[in-house]
Homo-oligomer: A and B are copies of this chain.
Amino acid sequence: MNKIILFTAFIFCTFFAKAQQQDSVQIRKIANEILRNSNAYSNLRVLCKDVGPRLSGSEGAHKAVLATAQMLRNAGADTVYLQPAMVTHWERGKPERAYAQVGKSNRSLKVTAIGNTVATKAGGVTAQVVEVRNMEELVKLGKKNVAGRIVFFNIKMDPTFIRTFEAYGANGAGRRKGPAEAARYGAVGVIVRSLASNVDDHPHTGATVYNDSLPKLSAVAISTADAEWLSKELKHQPNMKVSYETHCKMYPDVLSYNVIGEKIGTVYPGEIITVGGHLDSWDLAEGAHDDGTGCVQSIEVIRAFTALGLQPKRTIRAVMFMNEENGGGGAKAYFDSAKTKHENHIFAMESDAGGFTPRSFSIGAKGETQFKKLQSWLPLFYDYGIYEMHKGGGGSDIGPLAVLGTTLVGVEPDSQRYFDLHHAETDVFEAVSKRELDLSTVNMTALLWLVCEYGLP
């Protein structure tokens, strides 16, 4: 049995090896160019240190638009333009403060307002706290136990998920719909344990979605270390009061831009291949891994094509999407434009999972034929760290294109460190490894080159 299997595997490998030998040589050239001469890391330094935080509608966001447009020109894009997009404009205002009343003294708590939330009234909200470990507990407690109180969603990220994005999905309800659900039962405020995989002192923000038929509650995320403290303390002092104050405000949407740079296809200019990340970041940090890296990788794809003299057969378009974090205005504008212009988007790739070492591609294919075509290229990526292409989605900025029949691909780097710093002040340039960033870009560029060259059936 074993011998037959091994023989078949050998034939199988030989078959692909021959077909892909030339592609393999080209991909090695791409890898060498990027690993030797990539600008992604130095561009990221500019985006993190010179531009800094860049929440939609902020001055930083506008600086980021101008800076990345220039980077795309330097990278040798045939054309660079700004695509108008109406985007969310939410501001944090003055820094938050929070404390717990322990006996006669106050213990300060590390919190940050959750994105898109309303402010507390002046002076803040002060109330007893009711802790829940999941949404079912909230329902069980009901109005009787929740009304007039602050709900503390102490939902931990389950460490047994190997792919941390799965824990982020499974354990993220507190932030995403906690404020809305707590309002249903008459709560006066919401504290959410930061969606973080480590225990430290840095609160992690992120957006929430209100239910328009219910009151809008102010809400803060608390650091995981303080969440542990608060939970423990509440066991001893269940009547302990907590106070917090936020000053945030939602303004009307404002005009901003997606930044786009293209290399026009030489043979099929009408077949469009998108590669992108999002340009906006939360206001707490430099938005290095989220998602400065996705932006500078997309720019580097253009630079690598230019440096290698690769004229793509199909049009490749690097897009810095605006407003991914708290509204999706950029994604909507990109989709609307594509639809209105009847553009033929055959393929789109999104890098919005950090600039870590490469591991896999997630594929939302138009059909099984496209999925198989992409998978047939997998052996070309083994040497560069990617061993897996599986079915899934592409990401929230390219997601809308699915209805146009676009095959979507999400870049999936190693996810172990991402939720230590995601949406927190620790997401800074220094947390990015140049080699990891470049190696992930190598894989992105290689797949994009294959699609440019061969198209998708």
Contact = CB atoms under 8 A, between A and B. Distances in A.
Contact of A417 (B9, B35, B433): B433
Contact of A5 (B12, B162, B197, B439): B12
A70 interface: no
Contacts of A9: 12
Contacts of A436: 414, 416-417
Contacts of A8: 5, 8
Q: Count this chain's copies in the assembly.
A: 2
Interface residues of A, number: 32
A394 to B, nearest CB: 22
Contact of A383 (B162, B384, B385): B162
Contact of A414 (B35, B357, B383): B357
Contacts of A162: 31, 383-385, 439
Given A5-B8, A434-B198, A160 B35 contact: yes
A327 to B, nearest CB: 30
Given A5-B8, A8-B5, A160-B31, A416 B387 contact: no
Contacts of A435: 159, 164, 197-198, 416-417, 420
Interface string A6-20: 001100100100000
A225 to B, nearest CB: 14
A85 to B, nearest CB: 35
17 contacts: A1-B15, A5-B8, A5-B12, A8-B8, A9-B12, A31-B162, A162-B383, A197-B435, A198-B434, A198-B435, A385-B414, A387-B387, A387-B388, A417-B433, A417-B435, A420-B433, A420-B435
Interface of A: 1, 5, 8-9, 12, 15, 31-32, 35-36, 159-160, 162, 164, 197-198, 357, 359, 383-385, 387-388, 414, 416-417, 420, 433-436, 439
Given A32-B160, A159-B435, A417-B433, 18 more contacts: A1-B15, A5-B12, A9-B12, A35-B160, A162-B384, A164-B435, A198-B434, A357-B357, A357-B416, A359-B385, A385-B414, A387-B387, A387-B388, A414-B436, A416-B433, A416-B436, A417-B436, A420-B435
